[in-house]
Amino acid sequence: MKIKALGLTPYLPTYKAMQDFTAARGADTADELWLCQHPPVFTQGLAGQASHVLNAADIAVVPTDRGGQVTYHGPGQVVAYPLLDLKRAGYFVKEYVYRIEEAVIRTLIHLGITGHRVAGSPGIYVRLDDPGSHASLTGPRPASDPFRGLGKIAALGIKVSRHCTYHGLALNVAMDLEPFERINPCGYAGLKTVDLSTIGVSISWDEAASLLSHKLAAGLAP
């Protein structure tokens, strides 16, 4: 997998470049992993509802062809776009999603943080009261609030075309989290969003991007 660092790059041209790369690739095209951060932008997935954007104000809302609903991208967030031929890799979409989430979990473990999955809600979450804890939250979580006690630290939204993937994931490192309050993140009202900085991890964007890219490259290998 060829890893490309794109730096701070506008969302729309990057989105178009992913589509073009995927449309043009052939059976022998090498897989790539693009790493970047975007200027402030809300992106809306195919399942997105306008009502989940509460107050975009001066931040653009861009419709996309990925799965999921609305999320926010901004400086201080590592965005990773795996451009992968799943047929050649030898696994299906469900396992692809699992492997991406596992790469995030292993990245967090390296930093002393425990990542948690929530059934039916792609992405990775951490315990707000004790981000390093491996223990499950005590007490039942009502169906109306499956995220009680959790904060979302990584979002996931993908597209698969002709067995090839684009879009990807976003890991919050050290960013302005206020724009998340202008939306229902991933369609969930009141879902708290956190970054590594707010849970006590001091790491540069470059260090986080390097760590995540190595976990992804290893985890997505055939």
pLDDT at 33 over 60: yes
What domains can be seen in the chain, in order of their start residue? Answer: 2-137+145-219 (3.30.930.10)
Model-wide pTM > 0.75: yes
pLDDT at 171 over 90: yes
pLDDT (mean) for 44-62: 94
Look at residue 23 and give its three-state secondary structure.
Answer: helix
The C-alpha atoms of residue 119 and residue 31 are separated, in whole angstroms, by: 29
**Cβ proximity of 38 and 15 under 8 Å:** no
pLDDT at 47 over 90: no
pLDDT at position 137, please? 59
Catalytic choice (186, 191, 201, 212)? 186
One-character DSSP codes across 153-187: EEEEEEEEETTEEEEEEEEE-S---GGGGGB-GGG
- Segment holding 24, helix H or strand E: helix 11-24
pLDDT (mean) for 166-171: 98
Q: Mean pLDDT of all residues in the chain?
A: 93
pLDDT at 207 over 70: yes
Concerning whether 186 is annotated as a catalytic residue, the answer is yes
pLDDT at position 53, please? 95
- Segment holding 161, helix H or strand E: strand 150-161
Look at residue 103 and give its three-state secondary structure.
Answer: helix
